[in-house]
């Protein structure tokens, strides 16, 4: 790419022309600015990207994995229905905010013309907004206030996440995408593991649990923003009116069927995953009959098992996908295997059985995440608007996180509401993942 930085060792170029309302860009300038990256990214870029991903998700995933559940258990001791209802309200509202924020800020970052670049400013603004929300969650103890904090945190997080993911399209060439995608996914799941152990260790000090992880997240995201070779946009985009803003949330599935199939595949496996993980701690308390303290220990161990399996599978999957130039088979097999693992949970009532299923699900999801993001970038409708299109795609990631907490009580309530019907929830979730895998087979643009 035509970038001068610490990361890409090129001869410095002249300053880009300053944006002008009257100036029209030539076709050559447009083609040069939005040309796909061809140069291999350097180790400093990769290390900074991974560190920012790791600490960003430690701060964000702590609430998503366990902290909100522990907060609900503390607010409503001995009331199973109130606990699940609180989790549904808090998690659902935050994820709903993520749906809109990711797309909007993806569009905004595509159009930002500041001297700092298109992506860099929103990485910093977003991480600070997320921290404000986490502080509110840590210092309040009612469902409406905690939910409001999670909503603010998710909006801020997705203001950073949208440009953060777009960097993969902006900076990373096609021949490196699956490998770097797998590294990013490993970092994210290491963050889940770290967040789980933090939640376990600090479950009696929820203020520190929600707030402290945001400090290193800010530091490492700012560092990544500093080293990111982000170019200033000097080509003024068309003015965005209300109709254009509404269209931000839409990509025509008939015009771009491969993108649509990838979108639905991600939607279904995410719906499957969050239908269970949102209630993982309560599953162990309500169905396996563990104490809250023992359940926290089991979750921590199970996430460790899951993460080890995921890391091994993700590394191998990313390498093989790039080497074989194939994406679809990996996505199909991984989604189907993940669905089978969740179906097995419907018949699991022991801790040892729970650990085995977590290992299977970790292997499956490790393969999936190592390849799926690379597949998505390969089928983007318009690389010029990567932030916007990836933002629309992230709806498939965020919307299920909002829907799952509201849909799950329906399945949990089948039969005796006091007993909580986790098998019904697992069957629904598992079938969703399998269908999502089948959809990948019909993608035509990639092999």
Cα distances (angstroms) measured from residue 371 to each of 184, 191, 244:
11, 19, 32
The pTM of this model reads 0.69
Tokens representing 281 are 């701690």
Cα distances (angstroms) measured from residue 148 to each of 102, 138, 140, 195, 196:
18, 12, 10, 21, 23
Q: What whole-number distance in Å separates Cα of residue 346 and Cα of residue 420?
A: 12
Q: What is the domain partition of the chain in residue ranges?
A: 39-229+242-440
Q: With both helix axes pointing from N to C terminus, report the angle between 292-324 and 174-201 in degrees, rounded to the nearest 10.
A: 170
Residue whose structure tokens are 């700092």: 116
Other CB atoms within 10 A of residue 319 CB = 14
Q: What whole-number distance in Å separates Cα of residue 278 and Cα of residue 68?
A: 9
Q: How many CA atoms lie within 13 A of 427 on its CB side?
A: 8
- Please give the backbone phi and psi of residue 318, each rounded to the nearest 5 degrees, phi first: -65, -40
Residuewise pLDDT in 10s, the chain (447 residues): 333 333 333 334 344 444 444 455 555 555 556 666 667 878 888 899 999 999 999 998 877 667 888 888 888 887 777 887 888 888 878 877 877 887 788 778 877 888 888 888 999 999 999 999 999 998 998 999 999 999 999 999 989 988 888 887 778 887 777 778 778 877 887 888 888 888 877 877 888 888 999 999 999 999 999 988 877 777 776 666 667 666 666 777 788 888 889 889 989 999 998 888 878 888 888 888 888 888 888 988 998 898 889 888 877 776 777 777 777 888 888 999 999 999 999 888 899 999 999 999 999 988 887 777 777 777 777 766 666 677 777 788 778 877 887 788 888 888 765 677 888 999 999 999 999 999 988 888 766
Q: How many CA atoms lie within 13 A of 85 on its CB side?
A: 12
Please tell me the CATH code under which domain 39-229+242-440 is placed. 1.20.1250.20
């Amino acid at each position: 790419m035509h970038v001068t930085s610490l990361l890409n060792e090129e001869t410095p170029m002249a300053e880009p022309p300053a944006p002008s309302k009257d100036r029209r860009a030539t076709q050559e300038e447009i083609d040069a600015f939005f040309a796909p990256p061809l140069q291999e990214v350097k180790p400093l870029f990769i290390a900074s990207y991974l560190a920012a991903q790791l600490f960003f998700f430690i701060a964000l995933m702590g609430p998503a994995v366990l902290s909100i559940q522990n907060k609900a258990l503390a607010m409503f001791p001995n009331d199973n229905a109130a606990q699940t209802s609180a989790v549904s309200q808090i998690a659902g509202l935050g994820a709903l905010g993520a749906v809109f924020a990711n797309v909007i800020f993806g569009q905004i970052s595509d159009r930002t013309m500041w001297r700092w670049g298109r992506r860099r400013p929103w990485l910093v603004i977003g991480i600070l907004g997320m921290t404000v929300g986490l502080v509110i969650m840590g210092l309040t103890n009612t469902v409406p206030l905690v939910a409001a904090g999670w909503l603010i945190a998710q909006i801020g997080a997705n203001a950073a996440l949208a440009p953060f993911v777009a960097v993969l399209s902006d900076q990373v060439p096609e021949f490196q995408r699956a490998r770097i995608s797998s590294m990013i996914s490993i970092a994210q799941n290491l963050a889940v593991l770290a967040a789980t152990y933090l939640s376990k260790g600090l479950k009696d000090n929820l203020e520190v649990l929600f707030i402290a992880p945001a400090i290193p997240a800010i530091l490492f995201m700012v560092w990544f923003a500093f080293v990111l070779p982000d170019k200033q946009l000097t080509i003024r985009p068309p003015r965005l009116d209300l109709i254009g803003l509404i269209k931000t949330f839409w990509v025509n599935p008939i015009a771009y069927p491969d993108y649509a199939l990838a979108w639905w595949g991600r939607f279904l496996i995410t719906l499957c995953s969050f239908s269970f993980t949102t209630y993982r701690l309560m599953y162990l308390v309500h169905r396996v009959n563990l104490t809250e303290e023992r359940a926290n220990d089991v979750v921590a161990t199970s996430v460790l098992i899951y993460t080890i399996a995921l890391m091994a599978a993700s590394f191998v999957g990313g390498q093989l996908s790039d080497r074989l130039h194939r994406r679809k088979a990996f996505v199909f097999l991984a989604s189907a295997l993940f669905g089978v693992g969740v179906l097995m949970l419907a018949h699991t009532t022991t801790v040892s059985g729970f650990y085995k299923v977590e290992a299977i699900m970790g292997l499956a999801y490790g393969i999936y995440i190592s390849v799926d993001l690379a597949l998505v970038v390969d089928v983007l409708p318009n690389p010029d608007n990567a932030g916007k299109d990836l933002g629309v795609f992230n709806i498939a990631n965020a919307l299920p996180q909002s829907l799952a907490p509201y849909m799950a009580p329906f399945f949990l309530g089948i039969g005796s509401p006091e007993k909580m019907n986790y098998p019904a929830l697992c069957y629904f979730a598992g079938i969703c993942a399998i269908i999502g895998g089948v959809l990948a087979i019909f993608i035509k643009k990639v092999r």
